[in-house]
Amino acid sequence: MTKLTIQQTEEQLRAMSKVNAPSTLASAVLAQVGLIDQYSSIQTPLGIGFVSWNRQGISALMVLPDAAEFERYFNDRFHRRLVSNDNPDRHFLSRVAAALSGEKLDLAFDLRGLSDFERAVLVKARQIPRGEIRPYSWIAREIENPKAVRAVGSALGHNPIPLLIPCHRVVRSDGKIGNYLFGSESKRAMLELEGVDTQQLEDFADHGVKYYGSDTTNIFCYPTCRHARRVTGKHLVTFSSEEEARAAGYRPCKVCRPA
Ligand SMILES: [Zn+2]
């Protein structure tokens, strides 16, 4: 056995690094160590979409007509490499599919590419239960930035993981459905799918109804709060503002926190 000098060893190592591994192998290794994201197509309630992930978690989900558009979106947004994975972990994909159809699962998300503010907005949006909605101003208040209502709207408009992070459950402060990154018709469709009566909400908006109260508890709620929905017709009162509710002696609900 020949002993190698340090210099010879270095030369050999250099030579080894020049060996070109097959590109798929290289991608697989890079994906394993978390340097690139992988993606696969997936069925969503709004049609075929694409989901990407890395070792940190799910990094993006978009409803787009084809893979090339998803790659373009991803590269523009994150400037990271993305490779398609035709044989993804079935268990992982079935969990994503289950979450898309409404199952409450603790999926990991990779929100590294976002600002602290955007992350705070999305984390808060994630806490809105299925079948309920909150206004943009609620998120702004909850993340202790009450004046940033408009910025909340734009952070939600740039949500890289819509549907799983339910930005569709955030509506305008006047009760109208408002914008959505897949269009307001899709927002309405998602909410209907989750059991929200969007027609009723728009009727409330037209009549200035913002809160529900119960004359037995003297608590007021957002109309979709699970507590508000339990109030029976004869005990239900409505308010058009927090001031009106407070003046009538009502306290804000501790669950939906309307004020
Ligand atoms: Zn409530």
Amino acid letter for position 43:
Q
**SS3 label, residue 37:** strand
Q: In CATH terms, is domain 24-100 a member of 3.40.190.10?
A: no
Give me the catalytic one of 167, 221, 225, 256. 167
Which amino acid is residue 161, in one-letter code? I
Q: Is the pLDDT of residue 40 over 50?
A: yes
Phi/psi-derived region of residue 216, left when phi > 0, alpha when psi is between -120 and 50, beta in every other case? alpha
Residue 8 confidence (pLDDT): 64
Say whether 232 sits in a helix, a strand or coil: coil
Cβ atoms of 50 and 43 closer than 8 Å? no
d(CA 69, CA 77): 12
Separation of CA 227 and ligand 1 centre (Å): 5
Q: How far is the CA of 94 from the centre of ligand 1 (A)?
A: 33
Rounded to two decimals, what is the model's pTM? 0.86
CATH architecture, domain defined by 116-204? Orthogonal Bundle (1.10)
Q: Is 167 a catalytic residue?
A: yes
| Interval between CA 168 and ligand 1 midpoint (Å) | 19
Residue 161, SS3 per DSSP: coil
User: Three-state SS for 4?
Assistant: coil
| Residues linked to residue 251 through DSSP beta bridges, in sequence order | 219
Higher-confidence residue: 203 or 31?
203
The dihedral through the CA atoms of 118, 119, 125, 130 has a sign that is: positive
Smallest Cα–Cα separation from 129: which of 196, 187, 180? 196
Which residues lie across from 58 on neighbouring strands?
53, 109
How confident is the model over 165-194, as pLDDT tens digits? 999 999 998 888 999 999 999 999 999 999
Dist. CA 161–CA 14, nearest whole Å:
41
CB contact set of 247 (below 8 Å; sequence gap of 6+) = none
- Quote the ligand 1 centre to 223 CA distance (angstroms): 8
Residue 259: exposure state from Cβ atoms within 10 A (0-12, 13-18, ≥19): middle
pLDDT value of position 1: 47
Instruction: Look at residue 196 and tell me whether its pLDDT is greater than 60.
Output: yes
